[in-house]
Amino acid sequence: GKDSSEYDLIVIGGGSGGLACSKEAAKYGKKVAVLDFVSPSPQGSVWGLGGTCVNVGCIPKKLMHQAALLGESLKDAKHFGWNVPDNINFSWETLVTAVQNHVRSLNWGHRIQLHDKKVEYVNAKGSFLDSHTIKAVLKNGTEKTMKADNFVIAVGGRPKFPKEVPGAIEYAISSDDIFSLKKSPGKTLVIGASYVALECAGFLTGLGYDTSIMMRSIPLRGFDQQMAQLATDYMESHGTRIIKKCVPVRIDKAADGLLHVTWKDSVTGESRKEPFETVLFAIGRDPETSQMNLEKAGVQLDQQTKKIIANDKEQTSVPHIFAIGDVVQDRPELTPVAIRAGKLLADRLFGGSDVTMDYDKVATTVFTPLEFGTVGMSEEKAIERYGEDNIEVYHAFYKPLEFTVPERKVEQCYIKAVCLREGDQQVLGLHFLGPSAGEVIQGFSAAMRCGLSYHSLSSTVGIHPTCAEEVVKMHITKRSGDDPTVTG
Ligand code: FAD
Ligand code: NA7
């Protein structure tokens, strides 16, 4: 047995990856502790157990996205015969309360699960003293020392603020604050073009707020750019203002509380100034490695990103220290990725497994007002890898049946399969813009893991009438130059 301060495994970070890993390890009868501590955001937001996804990520954002979609549905409903009154109003306070209540129920659920599975939960901030010892600092300042044979670092990341922009840290918020914001955000400027930026601007627009996005270059770097363009075109045509090729210079708070943002157009060089009620930065995330004393343990970081370097067994430069989730260099920053990596790691450490995590062909969905589901390679990536002559792209612009009756003007519903040109035409990437994109793309991602070819995709019989059937019906190649609009 181990004495009270010695563990088989200490997990630092009780988010998606850390919780999954610690619970799985405890299943093997191991002595496991998980540390979780939330440092307040610059605006003072804090939250409970469960990490980013539960508190300030996937969960609250999908609920707010749903709230925005419902607003759209209310407009549609009239056309379908519902006598919806004209002056419907929306209450931010009600939404935030409902979302926060659900988040709190999840916080509680995670605590119960740790208890039931005999994982010791320590609400403390962990940092290394040496490679086998950590210091845990509790909220009240009490310190304790803990030792373990193995460590898993799963501390995730936090939103970045631009240090060079005066007023940014003082006055702006981030995704860490928006989901619990007490008062309605009002006229909002979202700065950045990450998926988080587009999603936040999307639901704020949908909820009726005057919303602008400021982009310095392209939307959704790393994603298929044709899809990214269509997703943002849709937003622009549905009320989100996009301020292109501009960067913030400073933010000043006026006596009336308004935030006056000065920005610069990087093409013309001109400056502009405009007041907003809320400014939200979504310019990427920094890993939470800076206060962990990782150099004391000997854990190597990427010099530029400050993320932890880990091998295909999630092992860092120190053999008994592992890292999973968003804190690791070159990994998709997604909850199910962190969960799976954590579970497989515990199985390898304590269950005699040799199964490693496959980070390839992980599907994801950007919950913009018109959702964007994607798996595998972008068209750009496929061309770069195989050459334009060896790639066949099938595509279609389609109209969801449910958009016809309410006469929704949507030109951006689009699907694209990026395939190899030879043989059965293996599908390298599948990209879908339209309703319920996540629900649509999940099954196709399983098919792609089985080696889906265009041949098997197009010999699949569709489910009528759905949007997903448009995926199996695609037959126009980009190369042909034919009109890809689905008719009838
Ligand atoms: P986290 O979940 O971030 O957990 C890390 C935990 O460690 C945190 O609780 C942190 O406070 C704690 N911690 C940090 N340092 C210490 C320390 N020294 N000691 C103790 N504890 C510490 N992913 C999806 O799959 N789908 C989505 O729709 C989606 N939407 C998102 C929307 C937003 C706005 C954001 C920001 C992210 C979204 N993500 C989404 C990404 C997803 O949230 C992350 O990939 C996931 O949470 C990563 O899990 P993790 O375990 O690596 O870290
Ligand atoms: P990303 O993917 O890191 O993107 C950051 C975005 O913010 C991107 O649009 C950047 O524009 C923009 N950015 C970064 N710094 C600035 C400043 N200083 N001013 C204005 N705009 C800025 O964001 P996430 O962290 O949300 O995404 C995490 C993961 O999701 C990532 O791995 C992706 O693969 C998917 P840029 O394109 O650099 O001009």
What is the per-residue pLDDT for 149? 98
460-475 pLDDT, tens digit each: 999 999 999 999 999 9
Distance CA(396)–CA(478), nearest Å, equals 9
* Per-residue model confidence (pLDDT) at position 2: 74
Ligand 2 environment, Cβ below 6 A:
162, 191-196, 216-218, 221-222, 247, 283-285, 333
Cα-flanking dihedrals φ and ψ of residue 460, to 5°? Answer: -80, 135
Residue 256 has a CB neighbour count (10 Å cut-off) of: 6
Cα(488)–Cα(485) distance, rounded to whole angstroms? 10
Q: Is 121 helix (H, G, I), strand (E, B) or coil?
A: strand
Rounded Cα gap, residues 122 and 35, in angstroms: 5
Ligand with the closest atom to the CA of 179: 1
Question: Which residue has its alpha carbon closest to ligand 2 atom 21?
Answer: 192
Per the listing, tokens 């979780």 go with 36
User: CB within 6 Å of ligand 1 — which residues?
Assistant: 12-18, 35-38, 51-53, 57-58, 61, 125-127, 154-156, 175, 196, 288, 292, 325-327, 333-336, 338
CA of 194 to the centre of ligand 2 (A): 5
Write down the ipTM of this complex.
0.96
Active site residues: 464
Token digits of residue 477: 């190649």
Q: List Cα–Cα distances, 44 to 54, 174, 188, 334, in angstroms.
A: 18, 11, 19, 25
**In whole angstroms, what is the distance from residue 341 CA to residue 19 CA?**
11
Residue 11 pLDDT exceeds 70: yes
204, exposed or middle or buried, with CB in 10 Å at 0-12, 13-18, 19+? buried
Q: Which residues make beta-bridge pairs with 260?
A: 252, 275
Q: What are phi and psi of 436, to 5 degrees?
A: 55, 40
Structure tokens at 157: 């990341």
Q: Which residue is listed with tokens 């995709």?
A: 457
Mean pLDDT, the chain, whole residue set: 97
**Which residues neighbour 413 within 8 Å (Cβ) at sequence distance 6 or greater?**
370, 397, 398, 399, 400, 403, 433, 434, 467
pLDDT at 443: 98
Q: 471 CA distance to ligand 2 centroid (A)? A: 30
Closest-lying ligand 2 atom to the alpha carbon of residue 364 = 35
pLDDT band for position 170 (50/70/90)? Answer: very high
25-38 pLDDT per residue, tens: 999 999 999 999 99
Cβ atoms of 33 and 4 within 8 Å: the answer is no
pLDDT tens digits for range 130-160 = 999 999 999 999 999 999 999 999 999 999 9
Contact call for residues 13 and 122 (beta carbons, < 8 A): no
Q: Stretch 102-130: mean pLDDT, rounded?
A: 98
Q: Is the Cβ–Cβ distance between 172 and 159 less than 8 Å?
A: no
End-to-end CA distance of the chain: 70
Nearest to 136 by CA among 118, 124, 121: 124
Residue nearest to atom 31 of ligand 2 (CA): 333
pLDDT in tens, 359-375: 999 999 999 999 999 99
pLDDT of residue 451: 97
The region that residue 418 occupies, defined by phi over 0 for left and psi between -120 and 50 for alpha, beta otherwise, is beta
Using the predicted structure, report yes or no on whether residue 456 has a pLDDT greater than 70.
yes
| Confidence (pTM) | 0.97
Mutational test site, ligand 2, from 164, 194, 266, max ligand atoms within 8 Å of CB: 194
Question: Whose atoms come closest to the Cα of 197: which ligand?
Answer: 2
- Whether 299 has a pLDDT exceeding 70, the answer reads yes
Instruction: Place 3 in a pLDDT band, splitting at 50, 70 and 90.
Output: confident
DSSP state of 41: P
Whether the per-residue pLDDT at 431 is higher than 80: the answer is yes
Q: What CA dihedral angle connects 241, 246, 252 and 254, to 10 degrees? A: -30
Return d(Cα 88, Cα 5) in angstroms, integer.
58
Q: Is the pLDDT assigned to residue 1 strictly greater than 70?
A: no
What average pLDDT does this structure show over 235-260? 98
Q: Which two tokens stand for residue 139?
A: 């909220």
Percentage of the residues of the chain whose pLDDT score is greater than 70? 100
* Local confidence band at 487 (pLDDT 50, 70, 90 cut-offs): confident
For 231-288, give the DSSP string.
Answer: HHHHHHHTT-EEETTEEEEEEEE-TTS-EEEEEEETTT--EEEEEESEEEE-S-EEET
Task: Specify the pLDDT at position 399.
Answer: 97
C-alpha dist (Å) from residue 31 to 49, 54, 78, 110: 20, 25, 59, 18
CA distance 199 to 201: 6
476-477 β-sheet, strand order: 364-366, 372-376, 427-433, 414-420, 391-397, 476-477
Probe ligand 2: pick from 262, 283, 302, max atoms within 8 Å of CB? 283
Q: Using CA atoms, how far apart are residues 173 and 190, in angstroms rounded to an integer?
A: 10
CB atoms within 10 A of CB 18: 29
For the segment 175-194, the average pLDDT, to the nearest whole number, is 98
Ligand positioned closest to the Cα atom of 328:
1
Q: Encoding tokens for residue 115?
A: 């208890």
